């Protein structure tokens, strides 16, 4: 069944997250992604879990390298225990400049560093649960000391699922080998890219995966322009056109464009950023390009629009929470219809 997740606006802080999470739960979403950008993702997740009883809550994605795996493991273990198993940890590498200059932390080779991050966290979780000595030694991380006083002990919940934000081929292969799932980026969530690039590259890592673990989940971070009428949908399309034009000015996201033969779009957008011609960027992102990376549908059209794209391709998809709470009931009906449609298609 296709799960429907909401995501928090990046500027949503601790003072508003509880009410937002309760609203998401009441609308029937399966889960909530909390960001780790302007506010701390673990603190937001704690508040969201405390305020709800049913939905899953996941960081999407927590910046890993500035945080010790031990610190993150302790916090995640507590969140998993407190919530009865509703917490998921989404991790990401960020870019070198942010790690070194914003966090003043050590930059690691992304795939190699994240592989050891995941492995060390699993070793720590194992020691928490069993009391066995901690002994993980890699090239970048070393954990060989966990006195009983500092061990929180077992919890009555599964180990915390470890998801990865992944874009490049090495990270996608790592998802297949080590992670419990992937959070795609909005720039690489087109159905064609999911089928032709992401799924095959994840499959390359599956051969090295522990057979005792389930296959990794695919969580599609899809932008959705929606609303009660066409005027609202059209306005949302233009908002997302601006956002996607900015995102695709970054060369790391160009493989999605190149798959469609639109490499020149990324090059033109990058040139416009160099010339600081920000207002001209959306015009480069034509409707033809936009429709590959954006779902546009009124509320009653959402079940067909989302299910037809993602059933059988992804396990989860994000759906925008309406700006106006007066529209919550309509979105709630759409979520129920999407769930029924996906169940029918999977039967």
Instruction: Give the DSSP per-residue string, 12-53.
Output: --TTTHHHHHHHHHHHT-SEEEE--SSS-HHHHHHHHHHH-S
Tell me the two tokens of residue 195: 């089928």
Answer yes or no: is 191 within a domain.
no
Answer yes or no: is 16 within a domain.
yes
Answer yes or no: is 90 within a domain.
no
Answer yes or no: is 313 within a domain.
no
Q: What is the pLDDT along the chain (347 residues), one digit of tens a residue?
A: 899 999 999 899 999 999 999 999 999 999 999 999 999 999 999 999 999 999 999 999 999 999 999 999 999 999 999 999 999 999 999 989 999 999 999 999 999 999 999 999 999 999 999 999 999 999 999 999 999 999 999 999 999 999 999 999 999 999 999 999 999 999 999 999 999 999 999 999 999 999 989 999 999 999 999 999 999 999 999 999 999 999 999 998 999 999 999 999 999 999 999 999 999 999 999 999 999 999 999 999 999 999 999 999 999 999 999 999 999 999 999 999 999 988 877 66
Count up the domains in the chain and report the number. 1
| Cβ atoms 265, 289 nearer than 8 A | yes
Answer yes or no: is 18 within a domain.
yes
Answer yes or no: is 131 within a domain.
no
| Cβ atoms 249, 272 nearer than 8 A | yes
Measured between alpha carbons, how far is 153 from 84 in angstroms, rounded to an integer?
A: 15
Answer yes or no: is 12 within a domain.
yes
Query: How far from the centroid of its chain's Cα atoms is residue 124's Cα?
Result: 23
Q: How many helical (H) and strand (E) elements, i.e. helices and strands, does the chain have?
A: 15, 13
Q: Please report how many Cα atoms fall inside a 13 Å half-sphere around the Cα of residue 27, on the Cβ side.
A: 27
| Cβ atoms 246, 32 nearer than 8 A | no
| Cβ atoms 228, 330 nearer than 8 A | yes
| Cβ atoms 315, 1 nearer than 8 A | no
Answer yes or no: is 130 within a domain.
no
For 18, the domain range is: 1-54
How much is the pTM?
0.95
């Amino acid at each position: 069944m296709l799960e429907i997740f909401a995501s928090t606006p990046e500027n949503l802080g601790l003072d508003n997250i509880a009410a937002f999470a309760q609203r998401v739960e009441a609308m029937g979403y399966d889960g909530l992604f909390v960001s780790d950008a302007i506010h701390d993702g673990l603190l937001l997740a704690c508040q969201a879990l405390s305020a709800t009883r049913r939905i899953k809550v996941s960081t999407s994605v927590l910046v890993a390298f500035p945080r010790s795996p031990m610190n993150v493991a302790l916090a995640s273990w507590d969140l998993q225990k407190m919530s009865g198993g509703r917490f998921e940890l989404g991790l990401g590498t960020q870019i070198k400049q942010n790690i070194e200059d914003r966090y003043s932390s050590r930059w690691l080779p992304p795939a190699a560093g994240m592989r050891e991050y995941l492995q060390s966290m699993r070793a720590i979780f194992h020691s928490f649960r069993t009391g066995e000595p901690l002994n993980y030694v890699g090239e970048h991380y070393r954990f060989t000391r966990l006195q009983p006083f500092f061990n929180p002990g077992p919890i009555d919940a599964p180990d915390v699922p470890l998801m990865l934000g992944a874009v490049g081929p090495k990270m996608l292969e790592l998802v297949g080998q080590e992670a419990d799932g992937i959070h795609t980026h909005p720039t690489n969530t087109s159905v064609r890219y999911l089928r032709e690039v992401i799924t095959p590259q994840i499959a390359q890592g599956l051969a090295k995966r522990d057979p005792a673990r389930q296959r990794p989940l695919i969580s599609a971070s899809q932008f959705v322009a929606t609303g009660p009428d066409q005027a609202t949908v059209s306005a949302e399309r233009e908002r997302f056109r601006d956002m996607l034009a900015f995102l695709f000015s970054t060369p790391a996201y160009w493989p999605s464009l190149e798959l469609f033969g639109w490499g020149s779009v990324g090059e033109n957008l990058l040139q416009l950023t160099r010339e600081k011609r920000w207002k001209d960027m959306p015009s480069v992102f034509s409707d033809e390009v936009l429709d590959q990376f954006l779902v546009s549908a009124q509320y009653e059209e959402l079940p067909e629009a989302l299910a037809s794209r993602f059933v059988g391709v992804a396990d989860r998809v994000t759906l925008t929470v309406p700006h106006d709470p007066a529209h919550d009931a309509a979105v709630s009906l759409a979520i129920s219809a999407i769930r029924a449609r996906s169940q029918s298609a999977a039967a």
